[in-house]
Amino acid sequence: MARAGLALALTIGALGGSSVTAQVAPGGPVTPYVDPSKAYLFLHMTKAKYGVLFYSVSLDGLHWKEVNGGKPVSADYHGHASVAQGGDGRYYLVGNKGDDDPLIRFWVSDDLIRWTPYGTYQPNLKGIPGYPTTLQRIGAPKLFFDKPSGQFLLTWHTPSLEGSKEDPERYWGSQRTLYVQSKDLKSFPVGPRRLFAWDMATIDTIIQPNDKGGYCAIIKDERYPSYEWTTGKTVRMSCAAKLLGPYPLPGPPLSPNFREAPTIIRAPNGKDWMLYYEQYAGTSYGLSMAPRLEGPWFQVSGNSGVPEWNRFEMPPGVRHGSMIGISRAQYDAIVAAFAAN
Protein backbone atom coordinates (compact mmCIF):
# COMPACT_ATOMS: atom_id res chain seq x y z
CA MET A 1 0.00 0.00 0.00
CA ALA A 2 2.91 2.37 0.60
CA ARG A 3 4.44 1.89 -2.85
CA ALA A 4 4.40 5.21 -4.76
CA GLY A 5 1.93 5.43 -7.59
CA LEU A 6 -0.41 2.76 -6.26
CA ALA A 7 -3.88 4.31 -5.91
CA LEU A 8 -5.82 1.90 -3.76
CA ALA A 9 -8.06 3.20 -0.99
CA LEU A 10 -9.11 0.97 1.88
CA THR A 11 -12.09 2.09 3.95
CA ILE A 12 -12.77 0.38 7.25
CA GLY A 13 -16.42 0.31 8.29
CA ALA A 14 -17.43 1.90 11.59
CA LEU A 15 -18.80 -1.38 12.94
CA GLY A 16 -15.86 -3.52 12.03
CA GLY A 17 -16.93 -4.28 8.49
CA SER A 18 -14.74 -3.26 5.58
CA SER A 19 -15.04 -2.29 1.95
CA VAL A 20 -12.35 -1.75 -0.66
CA THR A 21 -12.66 0.99 -3.26
CA ALA A 22 -10.13 0.88 -6.09
CA GLN A 23 -9.14 4.28 -7.43
CA VAL A 24 -7.48 4.15 -10.82
CA ALA A 25 -4.14 5.94 -10.98
CA PRO A 26 -4.13 8.99 -13.28
CA GLY A 27 -3.63 7.79 -16.83
CA GLY A 28 -4.29 4.19 -15.89
CA PRO A 29 -6.77 1.89 -17.64
CA VAL A 30 -10.42 2.31 -16.74
CA THR A 31 -13.31 -0.13 -16.97
CA PRO A 32 -16.46 2.02 -17.27
CA TYR A 33 -19.42 1.16 -15.10
CA VAL A 34 -22.39 -0.35 -16.93
CA ASP A 35 -25.86 -0.71 -15.44
CA PRO A 36 -27.47 -3.78 -17.07
CA SER A 37 -30.83 -1.99 -17.17
CA LYS A 38 -29.62 1.29 -18.74
CA ALA A 39 -28.32 2.52 -22.09
CA TYR A 40 -28.14 5.70 -24.18
CA LEU A 41 -29.27 6.94 -27.58
CA PHE A 42 -27.62 9.78 -29.50
CA LEU A 43 -29.81 11.31 -32.23
CA HIS A 44 -27.54 13.36 -34.47
CA MET A 45 -26.53 14.52 -37.92
CA THR A 46 -23.15 13.95 -39.58
CA LYS A 47 -20.57 16.13 -41.22
CA ALA A 48 -21.29 14.47 -44.57
CA LYS A 49 -25.10 14.78 -44.29
CA TYR A 50 -26.01 17.93 -42.43
CA GLY A 51 -29.52 17.96 -40.93
CA VAL A 52 -30.20 14.26 -41.61
CA LEU A 53 -31.12 11.93 -38.72
CA PHE A 54 -28.64 9.27 -37.62
CA TYR A 55 -28.41 7.14 -34.47
CA SER A 56 -25.51 6.10 -32.26
CA VAL A 57 -25.90 4.06 -29.07
CA SER A 58 -23.90 3.37 -25.93
CA LEU A 59 -24.11 1.15 -22.86
CA ASP A 60 -21.81 3.23 -20.67
CA GLY A 61 -22.36 6.77 -21.99
CA LEU A 62 -18.72 6.92 -23.04
CA HIS A 63 -18.23 4.51 -25.92
CA TRP A 64 -20.59 5.04 -28.84
CA LYS A 65 -21.26 2.99 -31.96
CA GLU A 66 -23.26 3.77 -35.08
CA VAL A 67 -26.64 2.16 -35.72
CA ASN A 68 -27.97 1.09 -39.11
CA GLY A 69 -24.49 0.67 -40.57
CA GLY A 70 -23.96 4.42 -40.43
CA LYS A 71 -26.96 5.12 -42.67
CA PRO A 72 -29.80 7.56 -41.84
CA VAL A 73 -32.66 6.24 -39.73
CA SER A 74 -35.32 8.55 -41.17
CA ALA A 75 -36.00 9.68 -44.73
CA ASP A 76 -38.29 12.50 -43.54
CA TYR A 77 -36.62 14.28 -40.63
CA HIS A 78 -34.41 17.34 -41.07
CA GLY A 79 -32.87 19.55 -38.44
CA HIS A 80 -30.59 19.67 -35.41
CA ALA A 81 -32.14 16.68 -33.66
CA SER A 82 -33.62 17.49 -30.24
CA VAL A 83 -35.87 14.98 -28.51
CA ALA A 84 -38.04 15.05 -25.39
CA GLN A 85 -40.29 12.43 -23.82
CA GLY A 86 -43.71 13.89 -23.15
CA GLY A 87 -46.06 13.21 -20.26
CA ASP A 88 -47.85 10.62 -22.40
CA GLY A 89 -44.67 8.53 -22.63
CA ARG A 90 -44.20 9.22 -26.33
CA TYR A 91 -41.08 10.84 -27.77
CA TYR A 92 -41.22 14.14 -29.63
CA LEU A 93 -38.57 15.31 -32.07
CA VAL A 94 -38.18 18.88 -33.31
CA GLY A 95 -36.41 20.27 -36.36
CA ASN A 96 -36.72 22.51 -39.40
CA LYS A 97 -35.48 22.61 -42.97
CA GLY A 98 -33.03 25.41 -42.26
CA ASP A 99 -32.71 28.74 -40.49
CA ASP A 100 -34.83 30.40 -43.18
CA ASP A 101 -37.68 27.87 -42.80
CA PRO A 102 -40.63 29.78 -41.25
CA LEU A 103 -41.95 26.56 -39.68
CA ILE A 104 -40.77 24.60 -36.67
CA ARG A 105 -41.62 20.95 -37.34
CA PHE A 106 -42.43 18.09 -34.97
CA TRP A 107 -42.34 14.29 -35.23
CA VAL A 108 -43.58 11.70 -32.74
CA SER A 109 -42.58 8.12 -31.93
CA ASP A 110 -43.77 5.42 -29.54
CA ASP A 111 -40.59 3.37 -29.78
CA LEU A 112 -37.74 5.63 -31.03
CA ILE A 113 -37.67 3.48 -34.16
CA ARG A 114 -40.46 4.87 -36.35
CA TRP A 115 -41.03 8.63 -36.54
CA THR A 116 -44.19 10.16 -37.99
CA PRO A 117 -44.94 13.84 -38.64
CA TYR A 118 -46.86 15.40 -35.76
CA GLY A 119 -47.41 19.02 -36.74
CA THR A 120 -45.83 22.41 -37.30
CA TYR A 121 -45.63 25.76 -35.54
CA GLN A 122 -44.96 29.12 -37.20
CA PRO A 123 -43.76 31.62 -34.59
CA ASN A 124 -44.52 35.30 -35.06
CA LEU A 125 -41.11 36.92 -34.78
CA LYS A 126 -42.46 40.47 -34.89
CA GLY A 127 -43.04 42.59 -31.80
CA ILE A 128 -41.17 40.39 -29.32
CA PRO A 129 -40.87 42.28 -26.01
CA GLY A 130 -37.35 43.64 -25.62
CA TYR A 131 -36.33 42.41 -29.05
CA PRO A 132 -38.05 44.55 -31.68
CA THR A 133 -35.82 44.12 -34.75
CA THR A 134 -35.70 40.37 -35.31
CA LEU A 135 -34.83 38.79 -38.62
CA GLN A 136 -36.99 35.98 -40.02
CA ARG A 137 -34.58 33.27 -38.92
CA ILE A 138 -35.15 30.23 -36.68
CA GLY A 139 -31.98 28.48 -35.55
CA ALA A 140 -31.77 24.96 -34.12
CA PRO A 141 -35.12 24.57 -32.28
CA LYS A 142 -34.88 22.44 -29.14
CA LEU A 143 -37.42 20.70 -26.90
CA PHE A 144 -37.63 20.20 -23.15
CA PHE A 145 -40.60 18.66 -21.30
CA ASP A 146 -41.16 20.08 -17.83
CA LYS A 147 -42.81 17.41 -15.68
CA PRO A 148 -44.01 19.71 -12.84
CA SER A 149 -45.96 21.98 -15.21
CA GLY A 150 -46.79 19.34 -17.82
CA GLN A 151 -45.61 21.70 -20.54
CA PHE A 152 -43.07 21.61 -23.33
CA LEU A 153 -40.53 24.40 -23.50
CA LEU A 154 -39.53 25.07 -27.12
CA THR A 155 -36.43 27.22 -27.60
CA TRP A 156 -34.48 28.47 -30.59
CA HIS A 157 -32.17 31.35 -31.51
CA THR A 158 -32.99 34.30 -33.74
CA PRO A 159 -30.69 37.16 -34.85
CA SER A 160 -31.45 40.86 -35.26
CA LEU A 161 -28.62 41.91 -37.61
CA GLU A 162 -27.52 40.74 -41.03
CA GLY A 163 -23.91 39.77 -41.43
CA SER A 164 -21.58 41.26 -44.01
CA LYS A 165 -18.36 40.32 -45.73
CA GLU A 166 -16.52 42.83 -43.56
CA ASP A 167 -18.26 41.77 -40.34
CA PRO A 168 -19.76 38.26 -40.58
CA GLU A 169 -19.77 37.91 -36.77
CA ARG A 170 -22.29 40.73 -36.45
CA TYR A 171 -24.97 38.22 -37.44
CA TRP A 172 -23.93 35.66 -34.84
CA GLY A 173 -23.31 38.27 -32.17
CA SER A 174 -26.95 39.37 -32.47
CA GLN A 175 -28.43 35.93 -31.72
CA ARG A 176 -30.78 35.69 -28.73
CA THR A 177 -32.58 32.66 -27.27
CA LEU A 178 -36.37 32.76 -27.67
CA TYR A 179 -38.98 30.41 -26.24
CA VAL A 180 -42.65 29.42 -26.20
CA GLN A 181 -44.54 26.91 -24.07
CA SER A 182 -47.17 24.37 -25.04
CA LYS A 183 -49.10 21.54 -23.40
CA ASP A 184 -49.32 19.48 -26.59
CA LEU A 185 -47.17 21.10 -29.32
CA LYS A 186 -50.44 21.87 -31.11
CA SER A 187 -51.41 25.15 -29.47
CA PHE A 188 -49.05 27.90 -28.33
CA PRO A 189 -51.11 30.39 -26.29
CA VAL A 190 -48.38 33.00 -25.81
CA GLY A 191 -46.02 34.24 -28.51
CA PRO A 192 -42.22 34.10 -28.40
CA ARG A 193 -40.32 35.77 -25.57
CA ARG A 194 -36.66 36.16 -24.69
CA LEU A 195 -35.49 33.53 -22.21
CA PHE A 196 -32.58 35.57 -20.83
CA ALA A 197 -32.61 39.23 -19.81
CA TRP A 198 -28.87 39.71 -20.22
CA ASP A 199 -27.49 41.22 -23.41
CA MET A 200 -25.34 38.36 -24.63
CA ALA A 201 -25.38 36.38 -27.86
CA THR A 202 -26.60 32.86 -27.09
CA ILE A 203 -27.46 29.81 -29.18
CA ASP A 204 -28.04 26.07 -28.63
CA THR A 205 -29.79 26.48 -25.27
CA ILE A 206 -30.82 23.31 -23.45
CA ILE A 207 -32.49 22.93 -20.03
CA GLN A 208 -31.61 20.46 -17.27
CA PRO A 209 -33.49 20.18 -13.96
CA ASN A 210 -31.15 20.53 -10.99
CA ASP A 211 -31.06 17.88 -8.25
CA LYS A 212 -30.97 20.71 -5.71
CA GLY A 213 -34.14 22.23 -7.16
CA GLY A 214 -34.67 24.65 -9.97
CA TYR A 215 -33.26 24.46 -13.48
CA CYS A 216 -29.96 24.97 -15.25
CA ALA A 217 -29.76 26.48 -18.73
CA ILE A 218 -26.74 25.26 -20.69
CA ILE A 219 -25.90 27.70 -23.47
CA LYS A 220 -23.30 28.54 -26.04
CA ASP A 221 -21.82 31.99 -25.54
CA GLU A 222 -21.93 33.08 -29.18
CA ARG A 223 -19.66 36.10 -28.89
CA TYR A 224 -16.37 35.82 -30.74
CA PRO A 225 -13.50 35.18 -28.29
CA SER A 226 -11.07 38.01 -27.60
CA TYR A 227 -9.22 39.54 -24.68
CA GLU A 228 -12.50 41.30 -23.91
CA TRP A 229 -14.70 38.22 -24.29
CA THR A 230 -12.52 35.31 -23.20
CA THR A 231 -15.62 33.13 -22.78
CA GLY A 232 -16.68 33.57 -26.40
CA LYS A 233 -17.72 30.47 -28.34
CA THR A 234 -17.74 28.28 -25.21
CA VAL A 235 -20.42 26.23 -23.46
CA ARG A 236 -21.54 27.82 -20.17
CA MET A 237 -24.28 27.33 -17.57
CA SER A 238 -26.75 29.46 -15.63
CA CYS A 239 -29.06 28.10 -12.91
CA ALA A 240 -32.33 29.57 -11.64
CA ALA A 241 -35.10 28.66 -9.22
CA LYS A 242 -37.79 28.65 -11.91
CA LEU A 243 -37.93 27.28 -15.44
CA LEU A 244 -38.32 30.72 -16.99
CA GLY A 245 -35.83 32.34 -14.65
CA PRO A 246 -34.73 34.96 -14.06
CA TYR A 247 -31.38 33.41 -14.95
CA PRO A 248 -28.21 35.14 -13.71
CA LEU A 249 -25.24 35.65 -15.99
CA PRO A 250 -23.74 32.26 -16.84
CA GLY A 251 -20.71 30.92 -15.04
CA PRO A 252 -17.25 30.08 -16.39
CA PRO A 253 -16.75 27.96 -19.51
CA LEU A 254 -17.40 24.23 -19.26
CA SER A 255 -15.66 23.66 -22.59
CA PRO A 256 -12.79 25.09 -24.63
CA ASN A 257 -13.49 27.85 -27.17
CA PHE A 258 -15.21 27.02 -30.45
CA ARG A 259 -17.53 24.39 -29.02
CA GLU A 260 -21.33 24.24 -29.40
CA ALA A 261 -24.42 21.97 -29.50
CA PRO A 262 -24.24 20.83 -25.85
CA THR A 263 -26.16 17.75 -24.75
CA ILE A 264 -26.14 16.30 -21.24
CA ILE A 265 -26.81 12.84 -19.77
CA ARG A 266 -26.49 11.21 -16.35
CA ALA A 267 -23.79 8.56 -16.06
CA PRO A 268 -24.93 4.95 -15.44
CA ASN A 269 -24.01 5.30 -11.77
CA GLY A 270 -26.81 7.86 -11.44
CA LYS A 271 -24.41 10.42 -9.98
CA ASP A 272 -22.00 11.96 -12.48
CA TRP A 273 -23.05 14.37 -15.23
CA MET A 274 -21.66 13.96 -18.74
CA LEU A 275 -21.78 17.06 -20.93
CA TYR A 276 -20.93 16.52 -24.59
CA TYR A 277 -20.28 19.31 -27.11
CA GLU A 278 -19.13 19.57 -30.69
CA GLN A 279 -15.86 21.09 -31.85
CA TYR A 280 -17.28 22.53 -35.02
CA ALA A 281 -17.54 22.12 -37.86
CA GLY A 282 -17.69 18.37 -37.38
CA THR A 283 -14.07 18.13 -36.18
CA SER A 284 -14.75 16.01 -33.09
CA TYR A 285 -16.80 15.75 -29.91
CA GLY A 286 -15.59 16.74 -26.45
CA LEU A 287 -16.78 15.71 -23.00
CA SER A 288 -16.78 17.40 -19.61
CA MET A 289 -17.86 15.64 -16.41
CA ALA A 290 -18.96 16.76 -12.94
CA PRO A 291 -20.46 15.18 -9.80
CA ARG A 292 -23.00 18.03 -9.61
CA LEU A 293 -24.29 20.57 -12.10
CA GLU A 294 -22.53 23.22 -10.02
CA GLY A 295 -19.25 21.38 -10.63
CA PRO A 296 -16.37 20.98 -10.38
CA TRP A 297 -16.18 20.22 -14.12
CA PHE A 298 -13.20 18.71 -15.89
CA GLN A 299 -12.54 17.88 -19.53
CA VAL A 300 -12.23 14.19 -20.34
CA SER A 301 -9.71 12.84 -22.82
CA GLY A 302 -11.21 11.25 -25.91
CA ASN A 303 -11.03 11.08 -29.71
CA SER A 304 -7.32 11.80 -29.36
CA GLY A 305 -6.10 9.30 -31.94
CA VAL A 306 -4.23 7.46 -29.17
CA PRO A 307 -6.57 4.76 -27.78
CA GLU A 308 -4.59 4.44 -24.54
CA TRP A 309 -5.37 8.07 -23.69
CA ASN A 310 -9.06 7.96 -24.46
CA ARG A 311 -11.79 7.77 -21.84
CA PHE A 312 -14.53 8.08 -24.46
CA GLU A 313 -14.95 7.32 -28.16
CA MET A 314 -17.37 8.76 -30.71
CA PRO A 315 -17.97 7.65 -34.31
CA PRO A 316 -16.09 9.96 -36.69
CA GLY A 317 -18.03 12.76 -38.32
CA VAL A 318 -20.94 12.97 -35.85
CA ARG A 319 -22.43 16.43 -35.47
CA HIS A 320 -25.22 18.30 -33.62
CA GLY A 321 -27.83 16.26 -31.79
CA SER A 322 -29.16 15.20 -28.41
CA MET A 323 -28.47 12.27 -26.12
CA ILE A 324 -31.07 10.60 -23.91
CA GLY A 325 -31.06 7.76 -21.44
CA ILE A 326 -33.02 4.70 -22.52
CA SER A 327 -33.63 1.24 -21.08
CA ARG A 328 -31.58 -1.77 -22.10
CA ALA A 329 -34.76 -3.20 -23.65
CA GLN A 330 -35.11 -0.08 -25.81
CA TYR A 331 -31.45 -0.31 -26.76
CA ASP A 332 -31.84 -3.94 -27.84
CA ALA A 333 -34.98 -3.12 -29.84
CA ILE A 334 -33.32 -0.21 -31.65
CA VAL A 335 -30.22 -2.24 -32.52
CA ALA A 336 -32.34 -5.17 -33.71
CA ALA A 337 -34.72 -2.96 -35.75
CA PHE A 338 -31.90 -1.42 -37.77
CA ALA A 339 -29.65 -4.47 -37.96
CA ALA A 340 -31.56 -5.84 -40.94
CA ASN A 341 -31.39 -2.59 -42.93
Q: Which residues contact 324 (CB under 8 A, 6 or more apart)?
A: 40, 41, 43, 83, 85, 265
Instruction: Report d(CA 211, CA 215) in Å as an integer.
Output: 9
Residues 65-75: what's their mean pLDDT?
A: 95
Using the predicted structure, report yes or no on whether residue 6 has a pLDDT greater than 70: no
User: Which helix (H) or strand (E) element contains residue 171?
Assistant: helix 169-173
Instruction: Report d(CA 133, CA 119) in Å as an integer.
Output: 28
Q: What is the pLDDT of residue 2?
A: 39
pLDDT digits (tens, 9 = 90+) for 299-325: 999 888 888 888 999 999 999 999 999
Using the predicted structure, report yes or no on whether residue 340 has a pLDDT greater than 70: no
Using the predicted structure, report yes or no on whether residue 236 has a pLDDT greater than 90: yes
The number of residues in the chain equals 341
User: Which helix (H) or strand (E) element contains residue 331?
Assistant: helix 328-339
Partners of 288 in beta bridges: 275, 299
Q: What is the pLDDT of residue 214?
A: 98
Residue (of 242, 265, 238, 240) closest to 252 by Cα position: 238
Q: What is the pLDDT of residue 23?
A: 64
Q: Is the dihedral of CA 98, 113, 287, 254 positive or negative?
A: positive
Q: Which residues of 52-73 are buried (b: 16+ CB within 10 A; e: fewer)?
A: bbbbbbbbbbbbbebbbeeebb
**Single pTM value for the model:** 0.91
Q: What is the pLDDT of residue 9?
A: 36
pLDDT digits (tens, 9 = 90+) for 253-305: 999 999 999 999 999 999 999 999 999 988 889 999 999 999 999 999 988 88
Using the predicted structure, report yes or no on whether residue 20 has a pLDDT greater than 80: no
Instruction: Report d(CA 326, CA 334) in Å as an integer.
Output: 10
Residues 231-244: what's their mean pLDDT?
A: 98
Partners of 272 in beta bridges: none
Using the predicted structure, report yes or no on whether residue 21 has a pLDDT greater than 50: no
Instruction: Report d(CA 252, CA 270) in Å as an integer.
Output: 25
| Angle CA 239–243–247, to nearest 5 | 40
Q: Which of residues 322 and 341 earns the better pLDDT score?
A: 322
Cβ pair 324, 263 in contact under 8 A: no
81 DSSP assignment: -
Q: In whole angstroms, how far apart are CA 186 and each of 35, 112, 119, 148, 180?
A: 37, 21, 7, 19, 12
Q: What is the pLDDT of residue 24?
A: 64
In this prediction, what percent of the chain has a pLDDT beyond 90? 85
Q: Measured between alpha carbons, how far apart are the two ends of the chain, in Å?
A: 53
